[in-house]
Structure 1
């Protein structure tokens, strides 16, 4: 496999080296960040959960819904948290449909490192828009994924759509 250097990924990983407490969690850190800040990828907050863009998206518009409470197992979710997470997943699909009109969605959670979780210490749910034919030759042959929309532009558009939908 050919390797491509992505300096932003090493910066992300290095940011966790010196942090040892629960506040080192990227999701816990994001709970109180100012949504208007360009470095903050949160697009919506509820009482029990929030919606954030994935800094390393699988596809354009890849969002995650995250419980505010620092938990890592499905059975730790309360009924109220689950209700809000489900509501935010639904809102995310509505907003992404309005913005991108995808043909479908992958929705789910990778629970634990063995399941593919990049952040396995704080449970989160992925909402990934999908289009017919969105897996082209680049990831198959070149093992490269192309993301055609800038995160900050997508974030600002989604914030406006969320305001319209609420």
Structure 2
């Protein structure tokens, strides 16, 4: 008796660029996020914190939609969905319980206004709101508190994030910032 032939394993690199029936959505810009390019080396150093640095730049460059007295609204540079906003206190504080009363009120009011503006401009079916407190809870920048305001549409969590680990965002951040800033009361 002869033994069955060993299967031949071909390396994927041998087929790079060879046409097939698979559609690919290449998102090399995501490597900056995956590699931690914009994460501060020392998260407690306010000089390295992107949420402390943002307000020192122009609204357009920093993607700031609105500036309040104690907090501001900025587009997420690595959005979960199109129109994903963050509400950040100006003060470099990591824990919600460390906000003072006026900061809590303004973060809450800016979150409510953000939802109204997003509804007017983008017509989502719903929202995810939340704060990830600490790295273990999923906070990308744990040292500076920020509230996520994520618009959601029916079917927006399609096969791409599940199978392809890719999120299609159909509008440029600068265009979203302009639309939201123009609609802000």
TM-score range, shorter chain: 0.7 to 0.9
Does 1:52 find its partner at 2:92? no
Cα distance, 1:8 vs structure 2: 3.8
SS in 2 for 1:133: coil
Where structure 2 has 5 or more consecutive residues not aligned to the other structure, the ranges are 1-25
Equivalent position of 2:143 in the other structure: 121
Which of 87, 95, 104 matches 2:126? Answer: 104
Structure 2 Cα separation of the partners of residues 54 and 14 of structure 1? 12
Equivalent position of 2:58 in the other structure: 34
Comparing 128-137 with 54-63, greater Cα deviation is found at 128-137
Cα distance, 1:126 vs structure 2: 0.1
For normalisation by structure 2, the TM-score amounts to 0.79
Cα distance, 1:44 vs structure 2: 0.5
Equivalent position of 1:151 in the other structure: 173
Structure 1 Cα separation of the partners of residues 36 and 64 of structure 2? 17
Q: Please show how residues 71-82 of structure 1 align to structure 2 within 5 Å.
A: 71-82=93-104
Task: Decide which structure has greater helix share.
Answer: 1
For normalisation by structure 1, the TM-score amounts to 0.87
1:89-118: CA deviation from partner (whole Å, max 9, x where unpaired): 011001100111100000010010000000
Where structure 1 has 5 or more consecutive residues not aligned to the other structure, the ranges are none
| Aligned Cα root-mean-square deviation (Å) | 2.2
Structure 1 Cα separation of the partners of residues 95 and 71 of structure 2? 15
Work out which of the two has the higher radius of gyration on C-alpha atoms and give 1 or 2: 2
Structure 1 Cα separation of the partners of residues 147 and 138 of structure 2? 12
